[in-house]
């Protein structure tokens, strides 16, 4: 199959997360779908039902043809409204911990997980008829949630001629957290999905390594690119006060900013910096947890809490900051994970302080050194002196110039960009035999 062949065929994206939903996961699906439009005659998107009033004006919805499916949210079980996820406070509740493990485990994710059984049945029914009525030759499904892969598995069983790309934005069974039941059974389910898919893809080798523990199938690495235009981000005016920005969650205490807060607390206590010249900004769903940490480190007076914000607002906060904080994890068998947040930060073009919970990650270190991205530190190997020197170097630059003159090496946008990723995907598709 050549690229020209695809232009006479259509593709169906099974993407529970797709604009205008405001989570980082939507943008990989969106950009790949935009790229597919250049090669396929029509791009269909099957996802959760979205109210018209919630649509993002910056997304070109006319590019795609939509199948909208009802998706009741499991979080009503906790008596709350539909939210993007559990707060860190609720995750420590015994009932919540049990539900999270249940939601992550097959077959309960069919009934309780994002999408759920109603979403799965509706998606299979509508997509099945669409495939018969339209010239659809390819399907793409995205994890998380597992619902879309289960829908794709059913469609592939009904239409064996389909070429199926199963994409993983995360590992279904994370070795760091083990938040699931019956690992052997879960392994069997995941192995079946990987075996049936024609192409298994992910965005980084770290997750690729994890997936290979479940199947000997080749894993295709389709790198992410920046989730917004970095040239526009550069035009965002920097804050008048030196700002350190964290945008995201504090996952199960695994994402811990204590090293940074300790260093800032010491600099303030030593009067090397004053309260009036620094902001510690937070945006996300764990406001209460962040406020508690700031209080513990005597930083309440310099901490600014924005709460949960839209993706557009988050982009502005990141671009107007002087230092963006990246909290991530590393494992001996799970390294080099470049989270969606990383690509948001490189688009902002500001220096990044990366704090890793776990073992040394040389691939991330090399990336930071190669492209002058900022500084990497480890939660288990704190070095407050080095961190304070790094912070003061940035702050002194800001004091002297009224802005930060840090320059990220723009060659990074050549290594990570959506056009290159789409070309790699199409090349991989061309190697798959079409069984029409």
List the pLDDT tens digit at each of the 436 positions of the chain: 455 555 668 999 999 988 877 677 788 898 899 889 888 999 999 998 765 545 565 666 678 898 988 887 655 554 444 444 555 555 556 777 777 777 777 877 777 777 888 999 999 999 999 999 998 999 999 998 889 999 999 999 999 999 999 999 988 776 555 676 777 787 888 899 999 999 999 988 878 888 888 888 899 999 888 766 666 666 788 899 999 999 988 865 667 898 999 999 999 999 999 988 999 999 998 898 899 999 999 999 999 999 988 878 888 999 999 999 999 887 766 665 677 788 889 888 899 999 998 888 888 899 999 999 999 999 888 788 999 999 999 999 999 998 888 888 888 888 888 888 989 998 999 888 765 4
Query: How far is Cα of residue 177 from the mean position of the Cα atoms in its chain?
Result: 17
Two structure tokens written together for 173: 């069974």
DSSP 428: H
* Size of the chain, expressed as the number of residues it contains: 436
Cis omega (within 30 of 0) on the bond before 20? yes
Q: Is the dihedral of CA 280, 305, 265, 327 positive or negative?
A: negative
Q: Structure pTM? A: 0.81
CA distance 22 to 84: 9
Residue keyed to tokens 């902002």 = 348
Residue 34: closest CA among 11, 54, 16, 57: 11
**Beta-bridge partners for 428:** none
DSSP-based three-state secondary structure for 280: strand
Element (H, E) at 397: helix 384-401
Instruction: Please list the alpha-helical segments (H only) found in 197-241.
Output: 205-211, 230-234
Q: For the chain, which residues make up each domain, given as ranges? A: 3-225+417-430, 230-414
For the chain, give percent helix, strand, coil, nearest 5.
45, 15, 40
3-225+417-430 and 230-414 in the same fold: yes
Give the CA angle between residues 346, 351, 352 to the nearest 5°.
75
CA distance 260 to 355: 9
CA distance 43 to 26: 16
Cβ atoms of 220 and 424 within 8 Å: the answer is yes
Q: What is the pLDDT of residue 91?
A: 55
Q: Which residues contact 356 (CB under 8 A, 6 or more apart)?
A: 328, 329, 330, 364, 376, 377, 378, 379
DSSP 121: H
CA distance 64 to 43: 5
Which burial class, exposed, middle or buried, applies to 360 when counting CB atoms under 10 A from its CB (0-12, 13-18, 19+)?
middle
Q: What is the pLDDT of residue 59?
A: 67
Q: Which CATH number fits domain 230-414: 3.40.50.2000, 3.30.720.110, 3.30.500.10, 3.10.620.30?
A: 3.40.50.2000
Tell whether domain 3-225+417-430 is in CATH 3.40.50.2000.
Answer: yes
């Amino acid at each position: 199959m050549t690229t020209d062949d695809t232009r006479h065929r259509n593709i169906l994206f099974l993407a529970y997360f797709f604009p205008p939903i405001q989570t980082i996961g939507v943008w990989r699906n969106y950009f790949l779908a935009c790229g597919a439009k250049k090669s396929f005659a029509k791009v269909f998107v099957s996802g959760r039902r979205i109210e018209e009033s919630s649509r993002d004006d910056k997304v070109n919805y006319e590019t795609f043809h939509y199948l909208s499916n009802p998706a009741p949210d499991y979080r009503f079980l906790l008596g709350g409204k539909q939210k993007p996820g559990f707060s860190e406070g609720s995750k420590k509740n015994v009932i919540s911990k049990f539900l999270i493990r249940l939601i992550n485990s097959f077959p309960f994710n069919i009934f309780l997980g994002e999408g759920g059984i109603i979403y799965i049945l509706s998606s299979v029914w509508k997509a099945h008829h669409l495939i018969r009525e339209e010239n659809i030759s390819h399907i793409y499904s995205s994890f998380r949630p597992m619902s879309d892969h289960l829908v794709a598995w059913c469609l592939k069983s009904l239409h064996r001629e389909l070429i199926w790309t199963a994409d993983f934005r995360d590992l279904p069974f994370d070795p760091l957290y083990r938040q699931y039941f019956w690992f052997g059974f879960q392994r069997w389910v995941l192995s079946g999905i990987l075996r049936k898919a024609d192409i298994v893809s992910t965005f980084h080798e770290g997750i690729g390594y994890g997936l290979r523990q479940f199947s000997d199938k080749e894993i295709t690495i389709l790198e992410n690119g920046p989730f917004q235009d970095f040239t526009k981000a550069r035009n965002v005016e920097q804050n008048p006060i030196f700002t350190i920005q964290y945008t995201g969650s504090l996952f199960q205490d695994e994402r811990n900013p204590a090293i940074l807060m300790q260093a800032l607390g010491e600099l303030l206590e030593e009067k090397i910096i004053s309260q009036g010249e620094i902001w510690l900004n937070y945006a996300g769903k764990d406001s209460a947890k962040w406020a508690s940490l700031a209080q513990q480190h005597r930083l309440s007076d310099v901490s600014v809490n924005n709460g949960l914000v839209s993706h557009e607002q988050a982009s502005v906060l990141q671009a107007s900051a002087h230092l963006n904080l990246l909290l991530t994890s590393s494992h001996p068998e799970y390294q080099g994970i470049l989270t969606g947040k990383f690509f948001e930060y490189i688009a902002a073009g500001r220096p990044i302080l990366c704090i890793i919970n776990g073992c040394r990650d040389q691939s991330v270190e090399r990336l930071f050194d190669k492209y002058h991205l900022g500084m990497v530190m480890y939660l288990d190997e704190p070095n407050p002196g080095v961190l304070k020197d790094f912070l003061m170097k940035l702050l002194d630059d800001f004091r002297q110039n009224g802005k930060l003159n840090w320059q990220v090496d723009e060659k990074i946008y050549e290594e990570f960009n959506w056009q290159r990723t789409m070309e790699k995907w199409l090349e991989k598709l061309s190697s798959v035999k079409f069984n029409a």
